[in-house]
């Protein structure tokens, strides 16, 4: 019989040290580590994230005292507030804008940041940690591919706001 293994969160202890509403950066770091991870190599994923955050911090991206505050600010800049869902009414499909919960906002933002770094890695000669640092720096400045994705989603929701009355949830 296989026992359930305890999930290892590398930044969990840091999160317990800084309990408070302003330190969500540690939670975002754990989630981003899980998104970066491939084939179960969690230690390698956390090293990649820490090296990206360290290089961001050394380059002086903003006036942040903690690396995880920079991560929190970058994720907050990329978070979408509305999304578009498909609703079928009388045989036609309408795109209906709707609000997103905070958990889904952060999940989408983290997913977009990791995907932007992976796409950059395919086209450049930098390693993945450097690409992740560039993407996070762009997100901190409200630029880059992840922010563009957010803006596109918001424009789509704005264009389809006439279908908002089809929403029932």
Q: What is the pTM of this model?
A: 0.84
CATH number for 28? 1.10.455.10
pLDDT in tens, 123-156: 999 999 999 999 999 999 999 999 999 999 999 9
Decide if 158 is inside a domain: no
Decide if 31 is inside a domain: yes
Residue 148 and residue 119 in contact, taking contact as beta carbons nearer than 8 Å: no
pLDDT in tens, 80-134: 999 999 888 888 888 899 999 999 999 999 999 999 999 999 999 999 999 999 9
- Token digits for 44? 């390698």
Terminal CA-CA length for the chain: 42
pLDDT at 142: 94
Decide if 125 is inside a domain: yes
Residue 5 pLDDT level (bands cut at 50, 70, 90): low
Decide if 121 is inside a domain: yes
Residue 105, C-beta contacts closer than 8 angstroms, at least 6 positions apart: 79, 80, 81
Decide if 154 is inside a domain: no
Decide if 135 is inside a domain: yes
How many residues belong to the chain? 169
Decide if 152 is inside a domain: no
Q: What integer is the mean pLDDT of 33-46?
A: 93
pLDDT in tens, 58-74: 887 667 778 888 999 99
Residues of the domain holding 51: 12-80+101-141
What is the SS3 assignment for 80? coil
Longest Cα–Cα distance of the chain, Å, equals 57
Look at residue 13 and tell me whether its pLDDT is greater than 60.
Answer: no
Domain count, the chain: 1
pLDDT at 14: 59
pLDDT at 57: 85
Q: Between 42-58 and 25-36, two packed helices, what is the crossing angle to 10 degrees?
A: 130
Residue 70 and residue 136 in contact, taking contact as beta carbons nearer than 8 Å: yes
Decide if 64 is inside a domain: yes
Of 64, 30, 77, 65, nearest to 50 by C-alpha is 30
- Token digits for 29? 């770091």
């Amino acid at each position: 019989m296989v026992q359930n293994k305890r999930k290892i969160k590398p930044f969990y202890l840091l999160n317990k040290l800084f309990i408070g509403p302003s330190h969500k950066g540690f939670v975002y770091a754990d989630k981003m580590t899980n998104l970066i991870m491939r084939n179960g190599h969690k230690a390698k994923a956390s090293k990649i994230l820490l090296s990206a955050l360290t290089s961001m911090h050394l380059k002086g991206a903003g006036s942040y005292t903690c690396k995880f505050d920079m991560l929190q600010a970058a994720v907050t800049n990329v978070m979408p507030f509305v999304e578009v869902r498909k609703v079928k009414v009388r045989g036609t499909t309408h795109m209906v804008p709707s609000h997103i919960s905070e958990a889904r906002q952060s999940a989408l933002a983290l997913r977009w940041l990791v995907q932007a770094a992976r796409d950059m890695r395919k086209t450049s000669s930098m390693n993945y940690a450097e690409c992740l640092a560039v993407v996070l720096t762009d997100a901190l400045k409200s630029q880059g591919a992840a922010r563009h994705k957010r803006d596109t989603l918001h424009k789509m929701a704005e264009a389809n706001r006439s279908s908002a009355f089809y929403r029932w949830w």
